Amino acid sequence: MQPGTPDDDWREDCAPRRVLELFATKWTSMVLHTLHARHDGAARTGVLQRSLPGISKKMLTQTLRDMEGSGLLDRLVRSTMPPAVEYRLTELGRRFVEPVELLYGWGRDNADALDQLVPRPGSRRT
Amino acid sequence: MQPGTPDDDWREDCAPRRVLELFATKWTSMVLHTLHARHDGAARTGVLQRSLPGISKKMLTQTLRDMEGSGLLDRLVRSTMPPAVEYRLTELGRRFVEPVELLYGWGRDNADALDQLVPRPGSRRT
DNA sequence: CAGTATCCGTTACGATACTG
DNA sequence: CAGTATCGTAACGGATACTG
């Protein structure tokens, strides 16, 4: 492992890097977790919105659309009036909940370390 | 757990969300892993750059500076000519390697699922 | 209630050229 | 070799108003 031989685990298309992409989109992992936390792995739009403090309607829809396109969740529309839309984790979605829960769990167990890291926002370097 | 009672695990300042911030900056986790993969948890600038295909000099420096500021790594400058700079994981840094390795490991074990998700870039919706 | 469309600011990121 | 400075772009993401 000499300094001239990069052992690069980080090729552009390697698995780890693609997992990271999942977390690159701010809300994706949170949606996954929220759905997972529900008994049946499903929730209506409003519930999701309320479960994710700070998300805008636009980002919620956009994230859900992207996830649907990726096959992470299904969209069930009940054409009542007013409409009731439900989002449900797919098989693939349930799979990706795993790494999310991994991080989630680590965070809960290491809140102290998180307090050391970036104690308060806006202290990068003035 | 009625639909009107958000069980929000996702408060703005909750632990999980702060962990996610670590992965929000594209290169941070990769730097952590790369350093961790080295016997002594340290590496010179050039090695890091070569280990992270695609990173620009700017982002490398910026990421390293941010991480230094956050206390994730130390910067050791050897004022020779030409200069030799070494980056080394701190105690805190070694701690945050954990969630990174968690994701990394999951990715390796689930490459098949990753192939299903986003088969090829640029297929969002034309 | 769910979704769309538009406007707009911020930031992440990359390419390049230059200094010590 | 390491780092800085500058420029430009693309994407993220929020606010708001409107439709069914």
A54 torsion bin: left (phi>0), alpha (psi -120 to 50), beta (else) = left
Helices (H) and strands (E) in chain B, counts: 6, 3
Q: What is the dihedral of CA A93, A89, B13, B16, to 10 degrees?
A: -40
For residues A75 and A62, what is the distance between their CA atoms, to the nearest angstrom? 13
In this prediction, residue B8 carries a pLDDT of: 56
In this prediction, residue A29 carries a pLDDT of: 94
pLDDT band at residue B118 using 50, 70 and 90 as cut-offs: low
In a domain, A118, yes or no: no
Which of B103, B100, B115, B119 is closest to B31 using CA atoms? B100
In a domain, B27, yes or no: no
In a domain, B124, yes or no: no
Angle at CA A101, nearest 5°, toward A26 and B31? 60
Query: Domain with A58 in it: what CATH number?
Result: 1.10.10.10
What average pLDDT does the structure give for chain B? 86
Is the CB atom of residue B27 positioned under 7 angstroms from any atom of strand C? yes
Q: Which domain, by its residues, includes B75?
A: 41-108
pLDDT per residue as tens, chain A (126 positions):
444 344 556 787 888 988 998 898 899 999 999 999 999 999 999 999 999 998 999 999 999 999 999 999 999 999 898 899 999 999 999 999 999 999 999 999 999 999 888 664 433 333
In a domain, B12, yes or no: no
Q: Residues of chain A with pLDDT > 90: what percent?
A: 67
pLDDT band at residue B5 using 50, 70 and 90 as cut-offs: very low
In a domain, B54, yes or no: yes
In a domain, B101, yes or no: yes
Count of the separate structural domains present in chain B: 1
B107 → closest Cβ in A6, A16, A125: A16
For the segment A27-59, what is each residue's pLDDT rounded down to a tens digit?
999 999 999 999 999 999 999 999 999 899 999
In a domain, A70, yes or no: yes
In this prediction, residue A12 carries a pLDDT of: 78
pLDDT band at residue B81 using 50, 70 and 90 as cut-offs: confident
Q: Tell me the mean pLDDT in the region B72-82.
A: 93
Question: Which two tokens mark A74?
Answer: 């299904």
Backbone angles phi, psi at A81, to 5 degrees: -140, 110
Q: How far B94 CA sits from the closest chain A CA (Å)?
A: 11
In a domain, A28, yes or no: no
Using the CA of B84, give the nucleotide whose C1' is nearest: D1
Residues in chain B: 126
pTM exceeds 0.85, yes or no: yes
